Amino acid sequence: MRTLGLLVAYASLIAMALSWITALFFYMRTFSAVTPEQSYLRGQLVFNWLFANGKLTGEAREHARRVNIAMAVFFVCLIISGAAFIVAVAPR
């Protein structure tokens, strides 16, 4: 059980890193896809992502949706890895 817990924990840590990199990639694409009419949102995208997210249109909105999905995957993997480490190191 300990080995399985460690395997799941390390696999989810790798998935966390990959989802973080994916979110960063799509964040950069969102930032570059902002149209000149929406250039006032660039500052908001840096400091308060969630509030500026709903104001985006077009391709930037699609990239922002992918960032949100990648961050949701990141947090799910964080919870799974924490639980797997607890299972792996729990005394028998």
Average pLDDT of the chain to the nearest whole number:
92
- Please determine, for residue 84, whether its predicted confidence score (pLDDT) is greater than 90: yes
Each residue of 1-30: pLDDT tens digit?
888 999 999 999 999 999 999 999 999 999
DSSP code, position 90: S
CA gap 26, 21 in Å, rounded: 9
* Averaged pLDDT, 66-70: 94
Enter the pTM of the model.
0.86
The boundaries of the domain holding residue 46 are 2-89
**Distance between CA 11 and CA 33 in Å, rounded?**
33
Count: domains in the chain = 1
Give the per-residue pLDDT at 92.
Answer: 76
